[in-house]
Amino acid sequence: MSKGILDDSPKEIAKFIFCTRTLNWKKLRIYLDERRDVLDDLVTLHNFRNQFLPNALREFFRHIHAPEERGEYLETLITKFSHRFCACNPDLMRELGLSPDAVYVLCYSLILLSIDLTSPHVKNKMSKREFIRNTRRAAQNISEDFVGHLYDNIYLIGHVAA
């Protein structure tokens, strides 16, 4: 920006971040936490149309690294992702009866499941049956089959926020 190559506008900075893969992700996380206007524009650059939820979440966290701890910034990221995912898939959201709040709950469940299945510190891994039961308690109106497919994706492909 100091050399005039990049404008100091949220949209331009977001495009730069979106297209640049070699940025220091720890510094970027701090920057995005401070510049929510840039974060907003960065989120809108993602197109999650016709993507399965866990795959879209993985793509999102490839561009915007998840924080290592739970907290307000992680909640902000999941909220922004949930709204963007719904905006990109309005027909699917109507068909499944999902709102951004329900997608938020599913995303949080997927992150927790990812940690549970991949952490060596968790001795008793969550079963598919337990995940379905717990997730459907937190977000009603979601089909058992859909939640089962979410579990299978994490089990077979791996962590959504790695």
CATH number at residue 129: 1.10.1000.11
Cα 138 to the center of its chain, rounded Å: 18
**CA 98 – CA 87 distance, rounded (Å):** 12
d(C-alpha 82, C-alpha 87), whole Å: 9
Catalytic choice (12, 34, 59, 69):
69
Q: Which of 90, 71, 42, 56 is nearest to 161 (CA)?
A: 56
Same domain, 69 and 128: yes
Q: How far apart are CA 62 and CA 122, in angstroms?
A: 25
Q: How far apart are the first and last CA of the chain?
A: 30
69 is catalytic: yes
- Interhelix angle for 128-138 vs 144-157, to 10°? 130
**pLDDT 10s per residue in the chain (162 long)?**
777 788 889 999 999 999 998 889 889 989 999 999 999 999 999 999 999 999 999 999 988 888 777 788 899 999 999 999 999 999 999 998 889 999 999 999 999 999 999 889 999 999 999 999 999 888 878 889 999 999 999 999 988 886
Residues 16 and 84 in one domain: no
Instruction: Give the global pTM.
Output: 0.90
Q: Are residues 65 and 107 in the same domain?
A: yes
